Amino acid sequence: MVLRLREGETGLDSDRFPWESLFRRPGREEVPFIRRKEGGEEGGGFGERWKKIRPRTKWIVGIIVLVLLALLLSASWLSTFYTDYLWYREVGYTSVFWKRIVTQVWLFFAFAALFFVLFYGNIYLAKRLTPRYERPLSELSPVEESVLRFRERAGRWLDRGLIVGSLVVSFFVGWASAAQWENVLKFFTHASFGKADPVFGKDLGFYVFEFPLLRYFSGWLFAVLLFAALAAVAVHFLYGTINFGAKGQRFAPHVKAHLSVLAGVLLLVQAWRFRLDMFALLHSHHGPVAGATYTDVHARIPAYWILIVTCLVCAALFLLNIRYRGWRLPFAGVVGIVVVSLLAGSLYPFIVQTYVVKPKELARESEYIGYNIEFTQDAYRIQDEGEEATVERRLFPASTDLTYQDILANQVTVDNIRLWDPRLVQQVYNQRQELRQEYDFSDVDVERYTVFDGRYTQMLVSGRELDVDQLREDARSWQNLHLSYTHGYGLVMSPTNRMTPEGDPVLLIRDIPPVSDQGLGVEVLRPEIYYGERAHDYVVVRTGAPEIDYPLGNTNKYVEPYYQGEGGIPVSSFLRRLAFSIRNRDISFLFSGYIHRDSRLMFRRNVRERALEVAPFLRLDGDPYLVVTGDGRLVWILDAYTTTDLYPYSEPYNGEFNYIRNSVKVVIDAYDGRLTYYLADPDDPIALTYGKIFPRLFTSMEEMPEDIKRHVRYPEDLFSIQMEMYRTYHINDVSAFYQKEDVWDVSTETYGAGGEPQAVTPYYVILKIPGEEREEMVLMLPFNPRGKSNMVDWVAARCDFPHYGKLLNFSFPAGKLVNGTQQFESLVDQKTEISEQITLWNQAGSRVIRGNTLVIPIENSLIYVEPLYLLAANPAIPQLKRVIVGYGDRVEMEPTLNEALQALLGEQPTPQPQPQPQPQPEGDLANLVEEANRLYDEAQAALRSGDWAAYGAKMEELSRVLDRMSELTRTTP
The model's pLDDT over 789-829, given as tens digits with 9 standing for 90+, comes to 999 999 999 999 999 999 999 999 988 899 999 999 999 99
38: confidence class by pLDDT, cuts 50, 70, 90: very low
H-run or E-run covering 347: none
Least confident of 615-624, 843-852, 948-957: 948-957
Angle (deg, nearest 10), helices 361-380 and 716-729 = 160
**What value, to the nearest 5°, has the Cα angle with vertex 506 and ends 500 and 511?**
125
Cα-Cα end-to-end distance for the chain: 111
Residue 153 has what pLDDT?
Answer: 61
Average pLDDT over residues 216-222: 96
Is residue 602 pLDDT above 90, yes or no? yes
Residue 46 has what pLDDT?
Answer: 61
Average pLDDT over residues 306-311: 94
42: confidence class by pLDDT, cuts 50, 70, 90: very low
Distances in Å between the Cα of 527 and the Cα atoms of 166, 489, 509, 861 are 59, 5, 12, 43
Residue 138 has what pLDDT?
Answer: 53
Virtual torsion, Cα 181, 187, 189, 191, nearest 10 deg: 130
Higher-confidence residue: 214 or 816?
214
Virtual torsion, Cα 603, 609, 613, 618, nearest 10 deg: 160
The letter for the amino acid at 92 is G
The letter for the amino acid at 209 is F
The half-sphere exposure of 83 on its side-chain side, counting CA atoms within 13 A, is 24
The answer to whether 258 touches 230, Cβ cutoff 8 Å, is no
Q: Could you give the percent of the chain with pLDDT greater than 70?
A: 84
Is residue 723 pLDDT above 90, yes or no? yes
Cα 188 from Cα 210, distance rounded (Å): 8
Cα 281 from Cα 502, distance rounded (Å): 63
What is the average pLDDT score of the chain?
Answer: 86
577: confidence class by pLDDT, cuts 50, 70, 90: very high
Least confident of 51-65, 301-315, 776-790: 51-65
The answer to whether 507 touches 493, Cβ cutoff 8 Å, is yes
Average pLDDT over residues 533-541: 92
265: Cα separation from own chain's centroid = 41
Beta-bridge mates of residue 850: 752, 868
Higher-confidence residue: 972 or 22?
972
Cα 863 from Cα 76, distance rounded (Å): 62
Length of the chain: 973
Chain segment 643-656, per-residue pLDDT in tens: 999 999 999 999 99
Average pLDDT over residues 214-235: 93
Residue 951 has what pLDDT?
Answer: 60
Residue 948 has what pLDDT?
Answer: 53
Residue 950 has what pLDDT?
Answer: 65
H-run or E-run covering 392: strand 391-395
Higher-confidence residue: 406 or 906?
406
Q: Computed from CA positions of residues 267, 272, 274, 275, in that sequence, does the dihedral angle turn out positive or negative?
A: positive
Q: How is residue 360 annotated by DSSP?
A: G
Is residue 735 pLDDT above 60, yes or no? yes
Residue 695 has what pLDDT?
Answer: 95
78: Cα separation from own chain's centroid = 27
225: confidence class by pLDDT, cuts 50, 70, 90: very high
Residue 857 has what pLDDT?
Answer: 94
Please tell me the pTM assigned to this model: 0.84
Residue 74 has what pLDDT?
Answer: 81
DSSP annotation string for 36-67: BPTTS-B---HHHHHHHS-HHHHHHHHHHHHH
The answer to whether 607 touches 624, Cβ cutoff 8 Å, is yes
Average pLDDT over residues 357-367: 93
913: confidence class by pLDDT, cuts 50, 70, 90: very low
Contacts of 858 (CB under 8 A, 6+ apart): 402, 406, 407, 410, 413, 414, 767
Average pLDDT over residues 318-336: 81
Cα 660 from Cα 684, distance rounded (Å): 9
Residue 842 has what pLDDT?
Answer: 81
Is residue 140 pLDDT above 80, yes or no? no
Q: Which long-range contacts (CB under 8 A, 24 or more apart) does 228-231 make?
A: 228/118, 228/119, 228/121, 228/122, 228/123, 228/262, 229/122, 229/259, 229/262, 229/263, 229/266, 231/119, 231/122, 231/123, 231/126
**Strand pairing of 488-489 and 528-529?**
antiparallel
473: confidence class by pLDDT, cuts 50, 70, 90: confident
191: confidence class by pLDDT, cuts 50, 70, 90: very high
DSSP annotation string for 276-321: HHHHHGGG---SSSSS--HHIIIIIHHHHHHHHHHHHHHHHHHHHG
**143-157, 498-512, 865-879, 906-920, range with greatest mean pLDDT:** 498-512
598: confidence class by pLDDT, cuts 50, 70, 90: very high
Phi, psi of 378, deg, nearest 5: -70, -40
The answer to whether 639 touches 718, Cβ cutoff 8 Å, is yes
Average pLDDT over residues 660-680: 97
Residue 792 has what pLDDT?
Answer: 94
Residue 10 has what pLDDT?
Answer: 42
Is residue 618 pLDDT above 90, yes or no? yes
Least confident of 318-322, 393-397, 582-586, 880-884: 318-322
Higher-confidence residue: 472 or 895?
895
Higher-confidence residue: 156 or 284?
284
Cα 345 from Cα 335, distance rounded (Å): 14
Cα 420 from Cα 310, distance rounded (Å): 69
Higher-confidence residue: 101 or 320?
101
Phi, psi of 25, deg, nearest 5: -90, 145
Average pLDDT over residues 702-711: 96
Higher-confidence residue: 865 or 147?
865
Residue 1 has what pLDDT?
Answer: 36
State the CB neighbour count (10 A cutoff) for residue 912.
9
The answer to whether 106 touches 215, Cβ cutoff 8 Å, is no
The answer to whether 414 touches 897, Cβ cutoff 8 Å, is yes
Is residue 149 pLDDT above 80, yes or no? no
The answer to whether 846 touches 869, Cβ cutoff 8 Å, is no
Q: Could you give the percent of the chain with pLDDT greater than 90?
A: 64
Virtual torsion, Cα 434, 436, 437, 438, nearest 10 deg: -90
H-run or E-run covering 369: helix 361-380
Chain segment 280-291, per-residue pLDDT in tens: 999 888 889 999
Higher-confidence residue: 874 or 770?
770
**101-110, 284-293, 875-884, range with greatest mean pLDDT:** 101-110
The answer to whether 577 touches 571, Cβ cutoff 8 Å, is yes
**335-349, 429-443, 617-631, range with greatest mean pLDDT:** 617-631
Residue 323 has what pLDDT?
Answer: 77
Is residue 14 classed exposed, middle or buried when 0-12, 13-18 and 19+ CB atoms within 10 A define those classes? exposed
The answer to whether 713 touches 779, Cβ cutoff 8 Å, is yes
**Strand pairing of 854-858 and 847-850?**
unpaired
Beta-bridge mates of residue 457: 449
Cα 421 from Cα 880, distance rounded (Å): 10
Coil, helix or strand for 569?
strand
Is residue 75 pLDDT above 90, yes or no? no
204: confidence class by pLDDT, cuts 50, 70, 90: very high
